[in-house]
Structure 1
């Protein structure tokens, strides 16, 4: 099995994702090759909480220009994790609200 910290890269903290905190939903950037089962197990191991569901999205690469140079941003994967009602809220999301 992969290391859980290799699957979960970082939390995604935006204005929209901070609204999800009230519903016990949290958003993370995850490894492109990881699946929902691996994400669920990694979140449960790292934060010691119970995960109800995981939804994933692949965020496409977008074209960007820097002067006369053009290229693309990296493609990445986002996971929206729903915790059970009896789970404790995650600390780093509480500070941003």
Structure 2
């Protein structure tokens, strides 16, 4: 097997970086059905208790957070323009926002 094949065989998805001491607190809201279809463009690895998804719907974008413990709790960031949501997504991945 090639080196690339070995890497892709064990790769799940992106892991979120550890939370930085100076981080933005995201105002998470309870999930609400605002659109008929939501497209998940990116997601973090499901091996963690908390996962994140970068979502697009109705011309807007948002980040969905799913917490799995004694059940499942799903929350969303505010819906915003795609460029703003991409910036939030990156800050979450880098541990600069939660």
Q: Which TM-score band (shorter chain)?
A: under 0.3
TM-score by length of 2: 0.23
Richer in strand (by share): 1
Richer in helix (by share): 1
TM-score by length of 1: 0.23
